[in-house]
Structure 1
């Protein structure tokens, strides 16, 4: 079993402030990490700031913060603040996010994503060290910024990566990669691109899980999630690169504007590959397969049916020796 075992926060189905008791117990249950996400619900930093107090023994990470939606200096300040609140326990995961989040929701052009992430990593390396940054990057310029509160321990920077270019960037210029929406078997394809650029790189994987759900229910939930995510251009390109030809009927239906047809076209086998479901012990075994294939930090992301008790899901998915 891996030495790390993470959970996505905030948990769904319970108000943020009421999650304290659940999060306080996680270290005793065997969890080592809490990782936040940022799309259309909470921001990435606030849940971790609360968790830094509620669970002082757990590592905290963002998976991920979009590189586009905060200015470079603001992103550096946010990261430095959390690093100061949780010394040695914070990792900053950044990435392109998607054209949906960046352009449609935040009115920011989604241009040159590879360069944007590369430039942001380079800027953060300088800024978080306390250096004065005076630089013209390909995608932005920073003139005379010096971080006023340099953290005693600079957080590692991870890059959200799907295909070879960004995976190599994560291994070459960052401290590792954050991967998402892939099967345990896909990990064997992805991880060598990261490690080929340097030894000792971390690979964080967000793994969608529906513990305890019967197959029909789990597959229904999984189909909705897959049709929502894997028709986004960056994820579609990822799965095309992986060779997941079984999704071609879904993509064709989606392109034709047939949303119901796209949903129905998601094969059970693809759901079973990308969403871990079944008894809790089986779910743990499948997560362990991700680790065996090269993931260093598995981060569970429950997507079970509405009404389930988040505390019970956390308890059921806790690691077992």
Structure 2
């Protein structure tokens, strides 16, 4: 499950983590946009619920210096040895430049360089030299983790997917339908042992289709108008389906962009229906090649914000058993 869960204060997540473990979820994965940072929710989970595996999906490669990112990862690997995975990715110009005042330049090479730096640093090596996008002078972790965490790479299109297959321990997919998974997985080619395919899947467990589609349209116009995601969906074959949205958005017509998103695209990318129907839809991702489906739980009209008991019941109904994450 993606954590923290919306509407529940982070300080109250001890009960959330226990409920997730009791419901059969194996992992909790954080994200990092403009809410909690990626590491704090997982540090709390490490202390409160040792049954859960932990992962970041993702930590941006630009917003922390290489050394600081290695230190944060090493600290979490130290408190949760063997059950933490570090996912990194390029993120977006909004997060990197607009919000964090860092130049978003050459995201492919920057992400590759950070991946290579982390691989060496987390093994306890002294890193001293020039990468294509930055230089590091004699950095050594004071306390390298006994068990270095696996490194996963967020990837959309072929270049980053192939980099993940060649140099990472897994790949993190996002904003794709179950029917899109085979195309992405095909770009990975021959993978190393224990390589994991992780996918974040947006789930709105309500039978109010109008509500779910309205929320889904807002999310799609917010995300899939970002150039990297737009190119991703062109590559996936949604040029015709989303061209109206892209034209309206470029013209400054936000309302028109919302109206131009077809129902079928929303239904592919935002799973909705009863919890049992959502569970069946998530299984389609597993059947298509996803090893770790990570649910991103969206608000529903049936569960009031902050109603922890109702949320726990909903999460339990969504529970998919082994190899499923909340």
TM-score (structure 1 length as normaliser): 0.96
Please provide the CA RMSD for this pair.
1.2
Q: What CA distance in whole angstroms lies between the structure 2 residues aligned with 1:97 and 1:246?
A: 25
2:119 aligned counterpart, secondary structure: helix
1:312 paired residue number:
313
Q: Does 1:271 align with 2:272?
A: no
2:97 to 96, 103, 112: 103
1:153 to 147, 158, 162: 147
User: Mapping of 1:73-112 within 5 angstroms?
Assistant: 73-112=67-106
Q: What CA distance in whole angstroms lies between the structure 1 residues aligned with 2:74 and 2:314?
A: 32
User: Mapping of 1:1-321 within 5 angstroms?
Assistant: 7-244=1-238, 245-305=240-300, 307=304, 309-319=310-320
1:158 aligned counterpart, secondary structure: strand
User: What's the offset of the Cα at 1:28?
Assistant: 1.9
Q: What CA distance in whole angstroms lies between the structure 2 residues aligned with 1:64 and 1:207?
A: 14
Q: What CA distance in whole angstroms lies between the structure 2 residues aligned with 1:232 and 1:87?
A: 36
User: What's the offset of the Cα at 1:316?
Assistant: 2.0
User: What's the offset of the Cα at 1:91?
Assistant: 0.1
Q: What CA distance in whole angstroms lies between the structure 1 residues aligned with 2:61 and 2:98?
A: 15
Please give the per-residue CA displacement for 1:56-95, whole angstroms capped at 9, x wherever unaligned.
Answer: 0110000000000000000000000000010100000000
Q: What CA distance in whole angstroms lies between the structure 1 residues aligned with 2:111 and 2:234?
A: 22
2:206/2:300 contact within 8 Å kept? no
User: What's the offset of the Cα at 1:199?
Assistant: 4.8
Q: What CA distance in whole angstroms lies between the structure 1 residues aligned with 2:2 and 2:267?
A: 20
Please give the per-residue CA displacement for 1:198-233, whole angstroms capped at 9, x wherever unaligned.
Answer: 454211100000012411111111111111111111
After superposition, the Cα gap between the structure-2 partners of 1:49 and 1:320, relative to the gap in structure 1 and judged at 3 Å, is: closer
1:136/1:142 contact within 8 Å kept? yes
2:188 aligned counterpart, secondary structure: helix
After superposition, the Cα gap between the structure-2 partners of 1:179 and 1:261, relative to the gap in structure 1 and judged at 3 Å, is: same
Structure 1 residue runs of 5 or longer lacking an equivalent are: 1-6
1:3 paired residue number:
none
Structure 2 residue runs of 5 or longer lacking an equivalent are: none
